[in-house]
Amino acid sequence: MTRLRWLTAGESHGRGLVVILEGVPAGLPLSAEAIAHDLRRRQGGYGRGARQQIEQDRAEVLSGVRHGVTLGSPIALLIWNRDWPNWQTQMSVAPVSEAVPPVTRLRPGHADLAGAMKYYQHDVRNILERASARETAARVAAGAVCRAFLSHFGVAIHSHVLNIGGVWAKPSQPIDWERVEASPVRCADPQAEKEMLAVIDAAREAGDTVGGIVEVVAEGVVIGLGSHVQWDRRIDGRLAQALMSINAVKAVSIGDGWESASMRGSQVHDIIEPVTDPARPWQRKTNRAGGTEGGMTNGMPLVARFAVKPISTLAKPLPSVDLLTGETVQAHYERSDVCQVPAAGVIGEAMVALVLADAYLEKFGGDHLEEVLRNYRGYVQTIGPRGRGEQ
């Protein structure tokens, strides 16, 4: 059974980030520019910090691709950190002769305290460097590879911001994705966009941060990915875990999950329409389930929402405690964003792409793209009403 595996490595101010993907079939056209496109999108968004002006992320393809086409072997991608020259002493791999002041002031809401206890560290930098959201650049690079793969099955993945700092968008349907891409906060609602910008500005002036809610939509997803037969094969569970793994994400909802908890069943479930077009069977009047039922995709657009808490590094730090002395101090401050919600949407797209690519390979596995496509096309021909006598 073909499956996708991937790992990232690297620290925020180290030499660079690395990601290795195994399981991508041979024969997939892949360019460095396609990956760079999503990396640029991740670096955008109103409320981002000075780091994004320093880094101009681009992934070098080190292996797994020849003459613009994947080989079926592991794909290794490297993203250099352009800020590395300013951190060569602090982040040197080899021992250094000069003293490097440790970071000991703990930040509430960050990985600092739990990580220092778990890994028995006396310098929080040994935790915060890897816990930094800088690591998500590697995820976005990996997700871009998966996006290229999924495009051959008609899958398109988008995201937009629904809420920043309590300001809710009310976008018209269908979502204007071109407008979202042009928006500094990746919002489809022009009025809400203005209010979101003002909220971010106010937080910056106050030395504070703001979070929000993002929606990811995957269109063209085939029915039947995932399975009901075991807990870890359920597609909604896999999506929830992937999205929850993004830095600062504290809640995930599939479809109208949060809202449906307060509604009656007659108001929640999506009515199945009669099959009038064999090419488009099993359509629904609504999509409140967000494209999944019983742990499987149901052929409707996949919709997932996730909540991002405000960044825990504040320009006006909260009271905290020193790691070494246990005494009261102001929390550590390191260059940071005011709002990362727009960028989180791009990261969310990558995580959904990684989960879906794995699910497509699980269902239609093969060693070459054409083999996977043959298996997919054969399956699609079986989707439809089960006639009398059919097995």
| Overall domain count for the chain | 1
Query: What's the start-to-end Cα distance of the chain, in Å?
Result: 24
**What is the residue-wise DSSP string for 81-119?**
-TTGGGGTTTT-SS--SS--PPP-BPPTTSSHHHHHHHT
Domain that includes residue 369, residue range: 98-380
Per-residue pLDDT at 39? 96
Q: Report the candidate in 122, 127, 126, 125 with the shortest Cα–Cα distance to residue 111.
A: 127
Residue 81 lies in a domain: no
| Alpha helices in the chain, H assignment, sequence order | 32-43, 51-54, 112-118, 125-131, 136-151, 177-182, 190-205, 235-244, 257-260, 265-268, 341-364, 369-380
Q: Is position 45 within any domain?
A: no
Q: Are the beta carbons of 347 and 139 closer than 8 angstroms?
A: yes
Residue 112 CA, chain-centre distance (Å), reads 23
Phi, psi of 128 (to 5 degrees): -65, -25
Three-class DSSP category at 268 = helix
DSSP-derived letter for residue 134 is: G
Residue 269 CA to residue 112 CA, distance in Å, equals: 43
pTM value > 0.85: yes
Cα torsion 253, 256, 260, 262 to 10°: value is 80
Q: Which residue ranges of the chain lie beneath pLDDT 50?
A: 388-391
Structure token pair of residue 195: 């209010």
Contact between 364 and 376 under an 8 Å Cβ cutoff? The reply is yes
The answer to whether residue 297 is domain-embedded is yes
Residue 248 in domain: yes
Give the domain CATH number at 264. 3.60.150.10
Query: Is 286 domain-assigned?
Result: yes
- Cα–Cα distance between 344 and 246 in angstroms, integer? 8
| Spatial separation of the C-alpha atoms in residues 94 and 266, rounded to whole Å | 64
3-class SS letters over 296-307: EECCCCEEEEEE
For position 391, what pLDDT does the model report? 47
**28, part of any domain:** no
DSSP letter at 367? S
Q: Establish if 270 belongs to a structural domain.
A: yes
Residue 339 lies in a domain: yes
Task: Return the sign of the alpha-carbon dihedral for residues 323, 329, 335, 339.
Answer: positive
Burial of 68 (0-12, 13-18, 19+ CB in 10 A): exposed
- Write down the number of H helices and E strands in the chain: 12, 15
Measured CA to CA in angstroms, residue 67 lies from 32, 61, 310 at distances of: 11, 11, 43
With beta carbons less than 8 A apart as the criterion, state whether 239 and 352 touch. Answer: yes
Identify the three-state secondary structure at position 187. coil
3-state secondary structure at position 9: strand
- Is the CB of residue 159 less than 8 Å from the CB of residue 349? yes
Residue 188: exposed, middle, or buried by beta-carbon count in 10 A (0-12, 13-18, 19+)? buried
